[in-house]
Amino acid sequence: MKRAIRVTVNRTEHVLSVEPCETLLDLLRNHLNLTGAKLGCDQQVCGACTVLLDGLPVSSCTVLAVDVDARQVLSIEGLAEGQELHPIQHAFLRHSAFQCAYCTPGMIMAIKALQDQVPRANDDQIRHFLAGNICRCGCHVEILEVARAILGTPSTPPREVLP
């Protein structure tokens, strides 16, 4: 049986009727036509569906829509200010940190959460924070550069390889 929920998405409040089995990703894509967050693994492994829920990053494929009642969601569509892209979006363009871009919205939202929570993150913290976001095109080096640029983190020299 459907349930009514009231949720704020990208600063706009919505009253929606959702099925108990629907996820937050379904809510965004099917109810609100916000298709930036992507379905990849559907089991909280790849991070393609990452959005912020009350400011914290979540895999929207594994959050039930009924559980976002009275909560705040920020998706990639809510990041830009009007026509002006967010600095993280600009940094992705500047560093060419994507190929197919399927992972990009989730990566951007994860870096946004990192910026909010650990604004002076070091290299290891960046790597740890982004471990749940996978880029199948292999752009991790460029994505790491984006995170470093946004957080002002100096690059760590490659670890020495033992003989």
Residues at the interface with ligand FES (CB under 6 A): 39-42, 44-49, 59, 61, 98-103, 135-137, 139
Q: Nearer to ligand FES by C-beta: 113 or 135?
A: 135
Q: Nearer to ligand FES by C-beta: 45 or 85?
A: 45
Cα 2 to Cα 22: distance, rounded to the nearest angstrom = 10
Tell the smallest beta-carbon distance from residue 37 to ligand FES (Å): 8
Tell the smallest beta-carbon distance from residue 23 to ligand FES (Å): 9
Q: Which residues contact 51 (CB under 8 A, 6 or more apart)?
A: 24, 28, 37, 57, 58, 60, 73, 74, 75, 76, 109
Tell the smallest beta-carbon distance from residue 93 to ligand FES (Å): 13
Q: Nearer to ligand FES by C-beta: 102 or 115?
A: 102
Q: Nearer to ligand FES by C-beta: 16 or 24?
A: 24
Tell the smallest beta-carbon distance from residue 44 to ligand FES (Å): 5
CB 26 within 8 A of CB 14: no
In the block, residue with structure tokens 């976002």: 68
In the block, residue with structure tokens 């940094």: 91
Closest of 52, 53, 64 to residue 27, by C-alpha:
64
Tell the smallest beta-carbon distance from residue 4 to ligand FES (Å): 25
Amino acid code (one letter) for 146? V
- Write out the H or E segment, with its range, that includes residue 73: strand 72-74
